[in-house]
Amino acid sequence: MLDSIAGLFSNDLAIDLGTANTLVYAKGKGMICSEPSVVAVADEKRGRGERVLAVGHQAKEMVGRTPGSIRAVRPIKEGVIADFEITEAMLRYFIQRAHNRSKLVRPRIVICVPPCITSVEKRAVRESALSAGAREVFLIEEPMAAAIGAGLDVTAPTGNMVVDIGGGTTDVAVISLAGIVTSRSIRTGGDKMDEGIINYVKRKYNMLVGERSAEAVKMQIGCASPQTKTMSMELKGRDLVNGIPKVVVTNNEEMREALLEPIHSIIETVHLTLERTPPELAADIVDRGIMLVGGGSLLRDLDVLLREETKLPILRSEDPFTAVAHGAGKVLDNLPLLRDVAIS
């Protein structure tokens, strides 16, 4: 009874709880926020646990720059919840933000989860959302949401392949008749690319760079195949020999080399999924191509390399960052579809 009254005043939400970014779509309002999945927490005095200081952009600014008593935490690692309490705090923040900080609302929430998620992990997501104030929680698989968000007709009896390269995971899935026919996920995505850059710079220049600097250089000059024009960029960090801050100049060819390993894993996963796709659906994919979504798909020439490696048409969604959240939002507006695609 109380629940249904609280429900009257709340907007239902669709949440893409990503490793790197969390996006929230509110029914009737559209996309209402997109923020880094980062929470800054401070130790309370006299050992009384922790207090949330900032969430999202503000907290991301603090990553790698915090004093001893403050931690900037990314509660989602490799696509799944690594820190239950902090995830709950983050969800509560997003739910309250969606409802102008009112604490009394109890929305129905659709949350996107990776297809490889275990039942224990599913329960963790569900319980986090319930204790953060949700009235009812539906889980849908990210590739399904991404396909719907990218405008593919998932209920038709045709094969669609979606490749979602996120921060923590890459999910490759073939969808037909509102279900995932085959899928494969690897815990490689944008974060592993950043790691590749950090390790490369360590080996080649004896210098330690931070995660954020590595990400910045990846976005600006990182690439998946050789470029005709050389682009250079300064990279700042700490010298590993004498411990002093230093600057080196790196270029796109070096960054391509640094990214070889994660990119190879992504391409291999696409190959393996194609190999396991039933022939009729494989024929559909030859005609319709592969849809790329996720922030990692923005890496320069990754689409070119995939086209060369698979000989298939490669399509990019209009906005790779929001495809999953948009798809989940569309599902929220379409209850029969929600029943079709929600997982138990």
Ligand X SMILES: Nc1ncnc2c1ncn2[C@@H]1O[C@H](COP(=O)(O)OP(=O)(O)OP(=O)(O)O)[C@@H](O)[C@H]1O
Cα–Cα distance measured from residue 272 to residue 260, given in angstroms and rounded to the nearest whole number = 18
Q: Is 142 or 284 the residue whose CB approaches ligand X more closely? A: 142
3-state secondary structure of 311: coil
Q: Which residue has the tokens 């204790």?
A: 131
End-to-end CA, the chain: 25
In angstroms, what is the minimal distance from the CB of 20 to Mg ion?
A: 8
In the list 128, 158, 169, 183, the residue contacting ligand X (rule: CB under 6 A) is 169
Binding segment (CB under 6 A) for ligand X, from list 47-55, 118-126, 131-139, 184-192: 184-192
Binding segment (CB under 6 A) for ligand X, from list 56-64, 132-140, 162-170, 237-245: 162-170
Q: Which structure tokens are listed for 120?
A: 């224990």
Pick from 173, 172, 165, 98: which is nearest to 129 by CA? Answer: 98
DSSP one-letter code for 300? B
Q: Is 75 or 79 the residue whose CB approaches ligand X more closely? A: 79
In the list 18, 159, 222, 329, the residue contacting Mg ion (rule: CB under 5 A) is 18
Contact 5, 19 (CB under 8 A): no
C-alpha distances in Å from residue 7, one per residue of 99, 106, 108: 12, 6, 8
Q: Which structure tokens are listed for 78?
A: 């490799």
The answer to whether 295 contacts Mg ion (rule: CB under 5 A) is no
Considering only residues 3 through 22, tell me which ones interact with ligand X, judged by CB under 6 A: 18-21
Q: What mask of x and - would describe binding to Mg ion in positions 143 to 182, judged by CB under 5 A?
A: -----------------------x----------------
The answer to whether 166 contacts ligand X (rule: CB under 6 A) is yes
Q: What mask of x and - would describe binding to Mg ion in positions 248 to 287, judged by CB under 5 A?
A: ----------------------------------------
Q: Which structure tokens are listed for 102?
A: 């009112």
Q: Is 32 or 282 the residue whose CB approaches ligand X more closely? A: 32
In angstroms, what is the minimal distance from the CB of 164 to Mg ion?
A: 6
Q: Classify strands 39-43 and 70-73 as parallel, antiparallel or unpaired.
A: antiparallel
DSSP structure string for 178-199: TEEEEEEEES-SHHHHHHHHHH
Q: Is 159 or 294 the residue whose CB approaches ligand X more closely? A: 294
The answer to whether 167 contacts ligand X (rule: CB under 6 A) is yes
Cα–Cα distance measured from residue 301 to residue 169, given in angstroms and rounded to the nearest whole number = 19
The answer to whether 107 contacts ligand X (rule: CB under 6 A) is no
Give the Cβ contact number of residue 133 at 10 Å. Answer: 20
Cα–Cα distance measured from residue 79 to residue 171, given in angstroms and rounded to the nearest whole number = 10
Q: Which structure tokens are listed for 288?
A: 């319709």
Considering only residues 271 through 310, tell me which ones interact with ligand X, judged by CB under 6 A: 294-296, 298-299
Q: What mask of x and - would describe binding to ligand X in positions 199 to 238, judged by CB under 6 A?
A: ----------------x--xx--x----------------
The answer to whether 321 contacts ligand X (rule: CB under 6 A) is yes
The answer to whether 159 contacts ligand X (rule: CB under 6 A) is no
Cα–Cα distance measured from residue 281 to residue 177, given in angstroms and rounded to the nearest whole number = 11
Residue 296 binds which entry of Mg ion, ligand X, none, with Cβ cut-offs from 5 to 8 Å by kind? ligand X
Pick from 34, 2, 40: which is nearest to 16 by CA? Answer: 34
Residues lying near ligand X in the complex (CB under 6 A) are found at 18-21, 79, 166-169, 189-191, 215, 218-219, 222, 294-296, 298-299, 321
- Binding residues for Mg ion (CB under 5 A): 18, 166
